[in-house]
Structure 1
Amino acid sequence: MSTPITPLSDTLAVAPQLGPEDMAALKAAGYRSVIINRPDYEGGESQPTSADVIKAGEQLGLTVVYQPVVSGAMTPEDVRTFREHLDTLPSPVLAYCRSGTRCTHLYNAAKQESSKS
């Protein structure tokens, strides 16, 4: 896998767009869960679908969830859902979107929400 992975904490890393063919490398790297934050077809017909990524990941024993978040339109509900995923999914978790930036913003917002609680 040549996709760059950016660790944000001991339990979460982010990456740009991944595909079904990347799931084995994630599993080999020790990840246990994947969060897909990129909506299907945001990048056109050539973008791998969440269903294909979920199927490939689950066949390898990964937990994969689809939480599409529209770029530039993150909502408080998106942040709450992302935080819930981080609290409940087996870790370490890898989240991806188009570039990794959206996932990073979700993580930072979720951390701020957690510190308010």
Structure 2
Amino acid sequence: MFFESMKDDVMLEAMSKAAATSMRQGAAAAVVQWIEDGDSEADAFEAMAYGLAGGDDGDELTDEQAEDFNEYLALCLISVCKQAHRLMTFRHLLTVTMTHQTPFSPQLKRPLVASRKTN
């Protein structure tokens, strides 16, 4: 009853959003695996997008698969950039925490608050 009351365009929009989300999730998961495998060659990156698009053992892609390949390639690149940023930020935070005293450092004898003298 619920689905019968929905208009076709609303259903199509919801399906389109779900498909886009699924593609982003697939690309992100593939990038994580690609990073863990440690193969930083461009061919491996393209092969990842080729497989996500439905390519099989070097066969030529159909027009629809070629569109998906380009979309997956773009999504994978975006995912790499986001994950690289997060990784660099995390490493920076670790470096700062390990090399500098912070308010949470156990070796501090006094809080890191500047005292002001008043006249």
Q: Structure 2-normalised TM-score?
A: 0.23
Larger Rg: 2
Q: Which has the higher contact order (CA 8 A, sep 6+)?
A: 1
Q: Structure 1-normalised TM-score?
A: 0.23
Compare the two structures and name the one with the higher strand fraction: 1
